[in-house]
Structure 1
Amino acid sequence: MTIQRKKIALVTGASAGIGLASAQALAASGYTVYGTSRRPTVAAPKGVRMVVCDVTDEASVRELVAEVLAEAGQIDVLVNNAGLGLTGGAEESSIGQVQALFDVNLFGVMRMTNAVLPSMRARRQGRILNISSVLGLIPAPYSAHYAATKHALEGYSESLDHEVRAFNVRVSLIEPGYIRSTFDQNAVEADAQIAVYDQARAGVRALLDEVMPTAELPEVVAAVVRAAAVDPQPRLRYPAGKLAKQIALLRRFAPAKAFDKSLRKQMRLPA
């Protein structure tokens, strides 16, 4: 009799928000889940083994993946969720600050993928789910650098998916809109602020403060992650939540001029 082994999922940035909800959703679906955080956690979520990993550190990433493979024998699903936010005008951040943002949001994904992919290729089986954003589809005033990381992630993921299909490995993007978590509240402020942007920057922050109390919960995104992990016909993009689906539809079909006007109105920018 063949014994069916439990599938293994590895979720980065699993100590809170979307990462935590995704790790718990996968665990509830029968996966053995490893969740990462940069620092040791006091208590692991139910059904999730928390491990320390810094996605900006090549050695940390490779040691973690080697540990999971030695213990579990395989990684079936990789959820690249670890990320940082950055708010401010495009010219208000030093290049060093922007590089640090890319190091987590883009290069961290690449490090994790490069470490996990060889075992998936060898087994000819695997799913890589990259947590993107609607800001990977649309522009976002005063979030230019964060949007740039997500636009880059979208291009990287689409190219990679074409490359690895021959090995029965698929890559998908999960694209949430506003999500009720501490992510936006913990976003880094631009490190070289310019007074002429103070009013507009404050307006964007006020808008976020207004929409967050009624934004969708991380569990909405986690449900999409779980669905994408087992989808027999995996798609490249999975909008997560009502707002994300609306934005994806508008971006695809609305005339550019109308979309631009609507965006500026929503962000309370001058016409």
Structure 2
Amino acid sequence: MSSKIAIVTGASSGIGKATAERLAHAGYRVYGTSRRGGVMGSRPFSMLPLDVTSDASVEALVEELLRQHGHIDLLVNNAGFGVAPAGAEEVSIEQARSIFETNYFGLVRMTSAVVPHMRSQGSGRIINISSVLGFLPAPYMAHYAATKHAVEGYSESLDHELRTRGIRVSLIEPAYTNTQFDSNALEADTPLDEYRAVRVGLSKLVRKLVEAGDKPEVVADVVLEAVSAANPKIRYTAGKLAHRLRLARRFAPAALLDMGIRRDLLLDTFTRAGKI
């Protein structure tokens, strides 16, 4: 295990940092990335600068690690950003493109860079950090949910393509996770008065849910489980809430699930408040 090379994108904090630490303690030589990079410090892994929206940046990173080590064994695609609650029509096309450029195309760009090398060595693992919003609707976070739905479809399809070549792809689906993810969330660039009450109310609610959410280490443990499995699953939920939501999506009647989403997010309450 000590000779296996892992890349973890978005590793400066939160899920990425916890995952990089967990993999390093399991024996991987881990390279975490972020836009600014960073010094190793007390971390058990190295930090490198990377912009997943840049072909040149991605190619340079992969080429340098291959020059140093000759192989890449694991890629964990975690880099991405959230979107503050807002109506779908409050997000411009340009802003929607920017969300997809990082959360979806950045993941595809990294994957496309490492797959040829994994294919030539006949082995490799790719772990994509998704979300329960990859299989559930997310009212007032429609564009973010759309990126995670796209990641899910891409990952499952890719796993079928690559498994006969010794490469497996798995998705990790957390629910609310206690990180700084929401503090850096992108605000809608064309806000409308009609949605103001829902925006404000839902933002406060989501902040509380995130603060009460699972620790990043819960997700990191599931990543290690997926990486270590001889026959990995395509999907792994992370945390009790994510597991319950996956079961509800699979077995609950659609009308009941629909009602539960509106109730838990207080959508009708916030909407009525905006009309008073």
TM-score over 0.5 for the pair: yes
- CA contact 2:214–2:239 (8 Å) conserved in 1: yes
- CA contact 1:180–1:212 (8 Å) conserved in 2: yes
Q: Does 1:259 align with 2:235?
A: no
Write out aligned runs for 1:30-179 (5 A): 30-87=27-84, 88-179=86-177
1:155-189 deviation digits (Å, cap 9, x = unpaired): 00011000001101000000010000000121111
Question: Which stretches of structure 1, 4 residues or longer, exceed 3 Å deviation after superposition?
Answer: 42-45
Output the CA distance in 2 between the equivalents of 1:43 and 1:118: 29
Unmatched segments (≥5 aa) in structure 2:
270-276
Output the CA distance in 2 between the equivalents of 1:236 and 1:43: 32
TM-score in terms of structure 2 length = 0.95
Cross-structure match for 1:244: 242
Match of 1:110, as an amino acid?
V
* Aligned length, in residue pairs: 268
- 3-state SS of paired residue (2:172): strand
- Root mean square deviation of aligned Cα: 1.2
- 3-state SS of paired residue (1:130): strand
Output the CA distance in 1 between the equivalents of 2:199 and 2:177: 20
Cross-structure match for 2:7: 10
- 3-state SS of paired residue (1:127): strand
1:44 Cα offset (Å): 4.3
1:203 Cα offset (Å): 1.4
Output the CA distance in 2 between the equivalents of 1:261 and 1:44: 48
Cα distance, 1:91–1:44 mapped onto 2, change above 3 Å: farther
TM-score in terms of structure 1 length = 0.96
Output the CA distance in 1 between the equivalents of 2:135 and 2:201: 22
Cα distance, 1:44–1:36 mapped onto 2, change above 3 Å: farther
Output the CA distance in 1 between the equivalents of 2:188 and 2:138: 15
1:42 Cα offset (Å): 4.5
Output the CA distance in 2 between the equivalents of 1:177 and 1:147: 12
1:213 Cα offset (Å): 2.4
Write out aligned runs for 1:187-206 (5 A): 187-206=185-204
Cα distance, 1:16–1:77 mapped onto 2, change above 3 Å: same
1:228-264 deviation digits (Å, cap 9, x = unpaired): 1111110000001111101001000000000000000
- 3-state SS of paired residue (2:222): helix
Cross-structure match for 1:27: 24
1:46 Cα offset (Å): 2.2
- 3-state SS of paired residue (1:35): strand
1:177-230 deviation digits (Å, cap 9, x = unpaired): 000000012111100000110111111111112222221100000000111111
- 3-state SS of paired residue (1:98): helix
Percent pairwise identity: 54
Output the CA distance in 2 between the equivalents of 1:143 and 1:82: 18
Output the CA distance in 2 between the equivalents of 1:232 and 1:40: 32
Match of 1:62, as an amino acid?
E
Match of 1:97, as an amino acid?
Q
Match of 1:130, as an amino acid?
N
